[in-house]
Amino acid sequence: MPLRNLISGFAGSDLLYRIPALLIALTFHEVAHGYIAYKLGDPTAKQSGRLSLNPLRHIDPLGLLALLLVGFGWAKPVPVNPLYFRSDRRYGLFWVGLAGPLANFLLAFAAALLFVLLPVKSFVYLNFLQMLIIYNVFLGVFNLLPIPPLDGSKVLLYLLPARAAYSFSRLEKYGPPILLLLIFSGITGRILYPAATAVINAILSFAVFIKNIF
C-alpha cells in the first residue's frame, strides 16, 4: 500500500488517534534505549524510572507542545552513562542507539499485522493503527539519520574507522544546529519521506505475506 493511501486524511485526523499513537511510539523508543543500556551494565535509566511504559515518565513539555501545534513531537531522552558499560563504549552506544529505531520498526510491523489480519472495520481501530504505523516508521527512520544527537550518529560512530570516528565525534557540538538547518530547509523531508515510504511499503508487504501464509 503506497504511503499516500495509508495517510489519506492524516492531516485532518483527530488528536484522539494521533496523541496515543505518538506517545506509544516515543515511549517504546526511549524504553528500548534504556533497556539495552541496562542490559549492558548501565543502571542510570532504571534508577531514574525510565524503564517504564508509562508515557508520563517520558513526556517532554516542549515536545508535547510541538505535537499539539504541528502534529509531531519528541520525548525526553533516556539518560545513558557509557562509563557503566561492561563492553567497549562505542559498541555499547551502537546498540543503545540502534535499539530505539528497531523498537519502532517492530512496533510498526506489529501494528501492520493487526491492520491486515484482524477483520475489524472500526474507523477508530483502523485510524489508530494507521497512525501507529506512520509515527513509528517516521520516528525510526528520522532517528537513523547520522546527525548528532540522533541515534544514527551513534551507529555511524561505531562503524567508522577509529580515526574517522574521532574526527566525527568532534563535530558533535555542531549537530543540533545542522539538524535544524536541514529540517527547516526541507532537505530532511526530501530524505525522510521516500525512505519512510519504502519502509512502510516493505512492512505492509511483509504483513500481507504473513497473512497469505496463514
Cell 483527530 belongs to: 14
Burial of 70 (0-12, 13-18, 19+ CB in 10 A): exposed
Cβ–Cβ under 8 Å, residues 147 and 153: yes
What is the rounded distance in angstroms from the CA atom of residue 189 to the CA atom of residue 15? 22
Catalytic residue among 6, 30, 92, 136: 30
172 a catalytic residue: no
What is the rounded distance in angstroms from the CA atom of residue 49 to the CA atom of residue 51? 6
Query: What are the CA-CA distances from residue 48 to residues 39, 85, 191 (Å)?
Result: 15, 17, 35
Q: Decide: helix, strand or coil at residue 59.
A: strand
What is the set of active-site residues? 30
